[in-house]
Amino acid sequence: MATEIMMPKMGFDMTEGTVASWLKQVGEAVKKGEPVVEIETDKTTIQVEAETAGVLVAITVPAGEKVPVNTPIGMIGAAGESIAAKAPAPAPAVSAAPAVVAAPPAPAAVAASAPAPVAASAAAANAAPVTMPKMGFDMTEGTVASWLKQVGDAVKKGEPVVEIETDKTTIQVEAESSGKLLQIVVAAGERVPVNTVIGYIGDGNVLAGNVLAGNVLAAPQPVAPATPAVAAPAIAPQAPIDNSGANATPIARRMADELKLDLTKIKGTGPEGRVTKGDIEAAVAAGTASASVASGATSAAAANGRVIASPYAKKLAAELSVDLARTQGSGPEGRIVSDDVKKAAAAGILVSAQPSAAPAPTVAVAQPVAVSAPVVAQPAAPAPKAATPPPAGTRREPLSKMRQTIASRLAQSKGTVPHYYVATSVEMDAALAMRVQINEALKAEGVKVSVNDLVLRATALTIKKFPKFNATFAGDAIDYRENINLGVAVAMEGGLIVINVRDVDKKTLKQIGAEVPAIAARVREGKGQPGDMGGQTFTTSNLGMYGVEDVIPIINQPDSGILGIGNAIQTPVVKDGQIVVRSMMKLWLAADHRVTDGAEGAQFVAELKRLLENPWALVL
């Protein structure tokens, strides 16, 4: 008796899916657990595994067709089994019933086993999706750096399950519920858009379709006949690399281990020659210390004519017309990931136009099969323009991803946002004296309030009076944010990041003093959590600890303002006709002229000055 292959439900809000491609043809033998079809949703692409062994006896939904969830899309049965009476009725939401392709008699040697119980769908397993988090307004995609749990492992609510890497940092995503890790949808090393489902946690059985290193098979890609296959040179096995004692940051060490790089061959630019993440990226980009990378990047072509690639890489390859059969994979066991596809596209490794295939043997069909339009190969992309070599006597280093992000973000802000600036000098003697008293009272609790914490609290209270500085320009409108979340610029290896301190107006100085250093430490160590970055509504940048007097910042979009904070410096001032020495601190407000005007900016800094010069207002 044939077993139906159903359109799976891969999320609580999923109502339909598209058959991206069939990995087996009618009449082919299928093993239990073997991928037979690729399903694409508006968020991701997965492979559906066979629930039982046998033969693919029918394809009821051809590739490219979109149908509701739980619709039969194919059948697996015994060799030679007739399925004429088993064609599913068309789903109500589909205008035309998909064609049923009957299988020709298969060789008697292929035996069909009895249907076996299978893993439930995500919905049936009461599974909650783990999604790629959005950690900043301009973040569009992220990379799964590593899974901290394996499929089947128990997970507690709040426990880190996966590390996500962006262009600027690495964070740990915590479980929103307790249960088991039922499925890994996106493997380590894969880059996908934000809000993409990357895994499932629930209390049911382990789900089918887990993406494990090296076992995701893509359908064969056509290769131009004129391009003969070139055998890869034999590579001698390498001795394991031990980077445990290397002078490197934790992120750099993990990257080196994943890329099989020897850290002793990479020159570090950090303190005391420490190898940083930027050094790893520069070494890979320059091709230095990468013998192991070159040897470890094996061709993804397998002996059975298929290639090992992630679902997202295959989808991207189809969009860019990249030939996966000639693409080198940098993932585990030579697996092709999205970055490999992008590099192949830039190098012009594209699918060439193919001559028409010979007519296939006649197959009995219950209904006419729709024929898709012919695929026309796109022209090869132009070769990238060679970079101008540096002048004589100049050393050039490639920009790290963090540096590229900073350059892009700030150039965009300075070029598109009309900034205006307002400055004031604040007498900080009373605030500094109050801070001493507060820290003495908190000494037993190990909490210390900084000058920056006082400014954050004063800024949040000022924003409550001037809500335009908690808004963002929206083209033909202004969006006012309800929460006052303050961004704090933090220097770190290779650049800077902005951490997010939420609801500052509702927190005490003690809470702020404990929270800011904790968030900064997590992010610097690559252990950031969702909410630690991105989501700020106003930003501060303090360089006072370096003795700087004036900090004139650039707006951190989409905010409408940013505050530059200088050092409190002993300065002679005139008080009541007398020259006295006071601790004076300069504050610079940069604001978006599309949202607010100079008069409002002047009132904003005046209120900020009033609160800091009367600091008990920050406590009461």
Q: Which residues are catalytic?
A: 593, 597
Q: Quote the CA–CA distance of 29 and 80 in Å, as a whole number.
A: 11
Which amino acid type is present at position 600? E
Question: In Å, what is the CA distance from 75 to each residue of 39, 40, 55, 344?
Answer: 16, 19, 8, 36
Residues 590 and 610: their CA atoms lie apart, in Å, by 19
Q: Could you give the CA distance from residue 488 to residue 455 in angstroms, rounded to a whole number?
A: 11
Nearest to 474 by CA among 133, 137, 134, 136: 137
- Please state the three-class secondary structure of 508-562 as a single string: CHHHHHHHHHHHHHHHHCCCECCCCECCCCEEEEECHHHCCCCCCCCCCCCCCEE
**CA 432, 425, 590: angle at the middle one, nearest 5?**
115
Residue 382 burial by Cβ neighbours in a 10 Å radius (0-12, 13-18, 19+): exposed
CA-nearest of 525, 532, 521 to 487 is 532
Pairing of strands 538-542, 561-575: parallel
- Contacts of residue 121, defined as CB under 8 A and 6 or more positions apart, other chains included, come to 8, 9, 10, 207
Contacts of 128 (CB under 8 A, 6+ apart): 176, 177, 179, 200, 201, 202
Burial (CB count <10 Å: 0-12, 13-18, 19+), residue 236: exposed
DSSP 57-122: EEESS-TT-EEETT-EEEEEESTT---GGGPPPPPTT-SSPPP-EEPPPPPTT-PPPPP---PPPT
